[in-house]
Structure 1
Amino acid sequence: MIGYYAHHQGAGHLTRARSIAACLREPVWGLSSRPAPVGWSHPWTELARDDTPRPSDEDDVTAGGMLHWAPTHHQGLAERMAHVSSWIAEHRPSLLVVDVSVEVALLARLCGVPTVVVALPGTRLDGPHRLAYDSAAALLAPWPDDAHTADWPQAWRDKVWCVGGISRFDGQTVPARPPAASGQRRVLVLWGSGGRAVAPSMVAAARAATPGWTWTERDPHTAPSADLWADLTESDVVVTHAGQNSVAEVAAARRPAVVVAQPRPFGEQAATAAAVERMGLAVGLSGWPEASRWPALLERAVSLGGARWDRWSTGDGARRAARHLEALAGTEPSEVVA
C-alpha cells in the first residue's frame, strides 16, 4: 500500500493527491490535516493541526534552522507526529508520498519507510530541503524536465521524475471556442486559495486600460467558479497566478496566458512565471504590471497562442506519476490493513 501525505496549505496538494490516486492500481491511503477531498474513494486519516494555536514569536519553530516547522511544546504537532508514526507501524506502507513537509518526510524515513517527496519550484537549497530531498528515494516533479532543475545537485537530478503538469482536467477534450459576442474578447483572471497580493483596484485599472476586453475574475474565497473548465475554454486569454495547479489547468485547456507570480516562500511562483516565459509558453511576469502595459501583454499572449502548452502538460502527468510510484512500491512487499 502507498501512503500519500498532503499538506493543508492551499488546495493544490489535495487536488494533486486526488489526481494521482485516481490513476493508481496499488491501494493508497491519504493523510492530511484537512478532510479528504471531494471524490476521494480511498482510506483517509485526518491529522491534528500543528499551526493552531499559533506559536509565540519567541518560539524556535525551525530548530535552529534545521527544520521548517517544529514549534516546541505544541500539542497538535505532538499528536500529528505520533499519529503518523503509529499509522506507519500499523499499516506498513511500501512508501510514503510527501506533498509537502520536510518534517513528515524525515519522520517517515526514520520509521524505515522510503519517501517520494513532491518537489516544488524555487530555490530549495536550504538545509531543511536538502534533508528531505537527499533522504528521499525519488523526487516527483509536476513540471517538464527543462523547467526547474538546472541548478539542482546532480544527485537530485538523478532521481527526479519530471512527469509534467498534473491537472484535474487532464484528458478532457478542448472544445472549439464560440466567437465572442459583439467583438469583445474575454480575459479570465484566476486566483488561488493561497492568497493574493493584487488589490481589486489594480485589476480594475487593468480592465479600464483594455477596452475591447471583458474581464471576469474567479477567486475561491470571493467568486468561485461554477464550471472552471468552461471558464477556461471560453476565454481568449487567462491571467493566472503562478501556482502549480492553476498553471497546469491553463496548460490542459491550451489557453493563451499571462502568468503573474504572487509572493510565496522560496520564490516558488516567481520561478514558475520565469520558466513559462523562458520556454515561450506564455507571458510570465514577476508581479502585477502597471495598467498601461496590459493592452500589449494581452496581445502578446494572443500571439503566443496556447498550443505550446503541450511542452508543459501532455495530459498524462498523473498517470505517469502513478506508474513511477507503483514501480517503486513493487520493490518491497505491500500490505493493506483495513
Structure 2
Amino acid sequence: MLRIGYYAHHHGSGHCRQIDKLAALLPIQKRQQLTVFTSLAPEAYAFSAIDEQQIVRLYPEDERTDDVLKGRAGKYWQPASLHYSPIGNADIQKRSHQILNTIVQRDIDLMIIDVSVEVAMLCRTVSIPYLYVRLPGLRDDTPHLEAFAGALALLAPYPQAIEAAMTPSWVRQKTVYLDFINLTKNDISSHQDFIKTLTTLTADHPNVISSFATKPIITVIKGYGGHEAIDAKLPELRRLLPDAFIISLGPIDNDLRAYVDVAIHVNDVTPFMYYSDYLLMACGLNAVAQAYYCTTPLVVLPDERPHQEQATMAQALIDQGRALSWEQFVYSMSAESTSAYPTKITASQTQDNLNDDRPSFFPTEDSFAAQALMDSIITYSTAKSWFNEWLLPQLGLRPEA
C-alpha cells in the first residue's frame, strides 16, 4: 500500500472532513498508513476514521510582526507562482520543517494537498509527488495553474456533471472526479423518528408542535466557515412564510433567533435533509455532498469565498436543475396558491419509499470513483507503478518524453 500524506487547510473543517471520509473507505487496518498535516485545532474537528497519532498539528502560517516582508508584498516583491509568501516568518519555517521531516521519517510515497499552492510548490521543489485537490470556483490565476501543472493529477471531490463551464480543457483532462462522498446516505432514520425528534426539540413550546405536522418544514443549514450571509435572509424568510416551521442548524446570530422556531446544533443533519420540505443552505462542499442525492428541493445561498467557490457551485446546481436560487425561491413562494408548497412527507413514507423516488443522478457503487481511488492506493506499493499503471489510464494522458 502507498503511504499517503494529506495536507488539510485550516479554513473551516471541510478539508479535514474530506480526508476523514476518504479514510473511511479504507479497511481499518490500512488507515494507519495515512498521515494528516493540518494547523486546525483539535477542538475544531473530531476525526472519526483517523487516530490523533496520525495527525501532525502544524505551526500556523499567519504573518508575524517580525517578518522581513509581508505575505503579499506587491508585484516586484513576491513570486507570481505563490499566493502568500512572507519572508523571515519563523512559524512557516518550522511548519515547512514539520512537513518535510515527517515525509522523510514516515517514508510517505504521495502527498494529497487540500489545498495550498505554497505546500504544492514546496513538494514539487523537493521532488515529492503530489495530487492537488481542485475545489469549485474560478481558479485560473497563475499560482493555481502552476500548482495544477506541478501535480501528478488533480482530484475534484464533486461530480463532473457540475464542473464549471469555464474550466480549461487541460485541467478537466488532468482531473479525477471523485463524485460527492456521502457515507451516510444509506443509513437514514424513519420519518416517524424525525417527528419524534422535532417533538422533543419543541417540548417547551407546545403551541408549535402541531405546526410541523401540517405546515412546510424549512431547514436552514449553516457551516462554521461563515454563516452571516445566510443568517441575514432569516427575517425575509419569516416574512415570506409566516406559518412555516423553520429550523436553523449550526451557528446563528443571537438577534436572529426570533425568526426561527428551533435553533440547534446536531451531529447528524441527514434526517433534516430528507424530511424537510425545503433546504436553505450555503454551498460548502461537504454540505452539498450530503444534500445532492436526496430528493428535497435545495435553495442555495452561496457565501462569499475566494475564487467564487460557492457562487460557482451554486450556479452549477441551478443550471443542472438541482437547486433554486434565493430569487427563484422567493418568486415561487410569493404565489398566492398553496401549490407553491411541495406535498408533505407522511409518516407512512418509509426509507424504502424514498429510495424508490431517488432522482436519476443517484450514484451506483460501480461509479463510486472515490472508492476506486482508495482501492488503487491499497493495490500499489510504489508511486511510480501507481502513476503509470493506474493513474495515467484514468486520465488518458501521457507526459512528454
Q: Same fold (TM over 0.5)?
A: yes
SS of aligned partner of 2:132: strand
Q: In structure 2, which of residues 47, 72, 87 is the aligned counterpart of residue 38 of structure 1?
A: 47
Question: Residues 175 and 118 from structure 1, CA distance in 2 versus in 1: closer, same or farther, beyond 3 angstroms?
Answer: farther
- For 1:98 and 1:199, locate their aligned partners in 2 and report how far apart those are by CA, in whole Å: 29
Conservation of the 8 A alpha-carbon contact between 1:20 and 1:321: no
Conservation of the 8 A alpha-carbon contact between 1:19 and 1:168: yes
Question: Residues 116 and 325 from structure 1, CA distance in 2 versus in 1: closer, same or farther, beyond 3 angstroms?
Answer: farther
Q: In structure 1, which of residues 172, 189, 203 is the aligned counterpart of residue 234 of structure 2?
A: 203
Question: Residues 149 and 50 from structure 1, CA distance in 2 versus in 1: closer, same or farther, beyond 3 angstroms?
Answer: same
Residues 1-338 of structure 1 mapped to structure 2, 5 A cutoff: 1-25=3-27, 26=30, 27-34=33-40, 35=42, 37-42=46-51, 43-51=54-62, 53=64, 59-61=70-72, 63-148=78-163, 150-173=165-188, 175-176=190-191, 181-198=212-229, 200=231, 202-220=233-251, 223-283=264-324, 285=325, 289=327, 293=331, 295=333, 302=342, 311=361, 316=368, 318-323=370-375, 325-326=377-378, 330-332=382-384
Question: Quick one: which amino acid aligns to residue 193 of structure 1?
Answer: Y
Residues 219-250 of structure 1: CA deviation (Å, up to 9, x unaligned): 24764224322322331111110111111111
- Indicate the percent of aligned positions where both proteins have the same amino acid: 26
Question: Quick one: which amino acid aligns to residue 268 of structure 2?
Answer: D
- For 1:5 and 1:161, locate their aligned partners in 2 and report how far apart those are by CA, in whole Å: 18
TM-score computed with the length of structure 2 as normaliser: 0.72
Q: Which runs of 5+ in 1 are unaligned?
A: none
Question: Quick one: which amino acid aligns to residue 82 of structure 2?
Answer: L
- Which has the bigger relative contact order, CA under 8 A and spacing at least 6? 1
- For 2:230 and 2:319, locate their aligned partners in 1 and report how far apart those are by CA, in whole Å: 27
Greater displacement, 201-210 / 239-248: 201-210
Q: Which has the larger radius of gyration?
A: 2
* Residue 108 of structure 1: how far off its partner (Å): 1.6
- For 2:94 and 2:341, locate their aligned partners in 1 and report how far apart those are by CA, in whole Å: 49
Conservation of the 8 A alpha-carbon contact between 2:5 and 2:112: yes
TM-score computed with the length of structure 1 as normaliser: 0.84
- For 2:341 and 2:181, locate their aligned partners in 1 and report how far apart those are by CA, in whole Å: 22
SS of aligned partner of 2:35: strand
Q: CA RMSD in A?
A: 3.3
* Residue 13 of structure 1: how far off its partner (Å): 0.5
- For 2:167 and 2:328, locate their aligned partners in 1 and report how far apart those are by CA, in whole Å: 34
Aligned to 2:201: none
- For 1:47 and 1:144, locate their aligned partners in 2 and report how far apart those are by CA, in whole Å: 31
* Residue 158 of structure 1: how far off its partner (Å): 2.2
SS of aligned partner of 1:204: helix
Question: Quick one: which amino acid aligns to residue 128 of structure 1?
Answer: P
Aligned to 2:198: none
- For 1:217 and 1:173, locate their aligned partners in 2 and report how far apart those are by CA, in whole Å: 20
Question: Residues 158 and 7 from structure 1, CA distance in 2 versus in 1: closer, same or farther, beyond 3 angstroms?
Answer: same
The number of residues matched between the two structures is 329
Q: Which structure dedicates a bigger proportion of its chain to helix?
A: 2
Q: Which runs of 5+ in 2 are unaligned?
A: 196-210, 254-263, 346-353, 387-401
